[in-house]
């Protein structure tokens, strides 16, 4: 969806301070960015269409989020990796894609920007997120991201640029995402049994052997993968995932 959809690009309307333009409940709205903290951006529709055409370099699509219990759009496979990272962060409760246009006054640089994602955390904080690999953050992008960061932090939003997502992380998350649904979530008793068994660092196969009841190996392994996805069990997802991957007690870092 083009910026011309919104008021700033209609009839030469003059903007004197940064504004946010968004679509909520089907209604296009534009407000002074000082009022943006009141907006539920996690429920906003994308302000741009994810168009496809012959020869397009980036693959766009939608990802089923376990936090939203619904689909969230992405414009590249790199953004899909970022979505998976966000989807398994314990504090995140909702995610939206292309949640707003930010418009700066006409003599500013940048003039406009549509961040890639918005997430709502369980403490009520909102976070604006841009996604771009390190090697593609040129001077123009760096200027835009810094201006966005300053604006967001002034108004009480968190801000993050996700730029260090590698292929191994993507492969591991794509595998684990098969177990993100509630169908793989263990009952409380089984959850406690698996977590209590992991009282020290050990390979996945060792935990599987210790925590598996008779004839339930495949079920227990599914529980373990769900627990890894949900952050209850920790391991380094930037190295190839396998049964010999070392799990850590839940106080360890997830990344």
- Alpha carbons 105 and 112: distance in angstroms, whole number: 9
Contact 42, 94 (CB under 8 A): yes
Phi-psi region of 46 (alpha: psi -120 to 50; beta: other; left: phi over 0): beta
Contact 165, 85 (CB under 8 A): yes
pLDDT, tens only, 68-105: 999 999 999 999 999 999 999 999 999 999 999 999 99
Using CA atoms, how far residue 72 sits from 99, 131, 160, 214, in Å, is 11, 15, 18, 39
| Residue 227 confidence (pLDDT) above 80 | yes
- Alpha carbons 20 and 9: distance in angstroms, whole number: 13
pLDDT, tens only, 75-84: 999 999 999 9
Contacting residues for 134 by C-beta, under 8 A, at least 6 apart: 163, 164
Residue 228, helix vs strand vs coil: helix
Structural fold of domain 3-162: Trna Endonuclease; Chain: A, domain 1 (3.40.1350)
Confidence (pTM): 0.88
pLDDT classification of 59: cutoffs 50, 70, 90 = confident
pLDDT, tens only, 122-174: 999 999 999 999 999 999 999 999 999 999 999 999 999 999 999 999 999 99
Share the mean pLDDT of the chain: 89
Which one, of 173, 148, 170, lies nearest residue 160 by Cα? 148
- Alpha carbons 126 and 116: distance in angstroms, whole number: 14
Where do the domains of the chain lie?
A: 3-162, 167-247
| Cα angle: 163, vertex 238, 82; to 5 degrees | 40
């Amino acid at each position: 969806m083009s910026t011309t959809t919104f008021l700033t690009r209609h009839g030469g309307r003059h903007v004197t301070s940064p504004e946010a333009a968004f679509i909520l409940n089907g209604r296009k709205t534009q407000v002074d960015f000082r009022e943006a903290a009141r907006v539920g951006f996690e429920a906003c529709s994308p302000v741009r269409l994810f168009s496809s055409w012959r020869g397009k370099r980036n693959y766009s699509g939608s990802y089923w989020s376990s936090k939203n219990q619904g689909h969230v759009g992405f414009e590249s496979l790199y953004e899909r990796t970022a979505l998976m990272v966000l989807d398994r962060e314990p504090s995140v409760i909702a995610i939206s894609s292309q949640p707003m246009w930010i418009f700066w006054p006409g003599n500013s640089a940048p003039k406009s920007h549509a961040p890639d994602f918005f997430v709502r955390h369980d403490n009520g904080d909102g976070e604006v997120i841009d996604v771009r690999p390190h090697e593609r953050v040129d001077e123009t992008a760096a200027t835009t991201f810094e201006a966005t960061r300053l604006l967001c932090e002034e108004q009480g939003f968190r801000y993050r640029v996700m730029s260090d997502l590698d292929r191994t992380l993507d492969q591991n998350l794509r595998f684990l995402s098969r177990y993100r649904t509630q169908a793989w979530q263990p009952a409380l008793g089984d959850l406690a049994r698996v977590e209590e068994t992991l009282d020290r660092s050990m390979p996945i196969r060792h935990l599987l052997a210790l925590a598996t009841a008779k004839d339930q190996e495949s079920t227990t392994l599914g529980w373990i993968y769900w627990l890894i996805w949900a952050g209850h069990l920790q391991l380094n997802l930037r190295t190839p995932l396998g049964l010999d991957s070392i799990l850590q007690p839940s106080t360890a870092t997830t990344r």
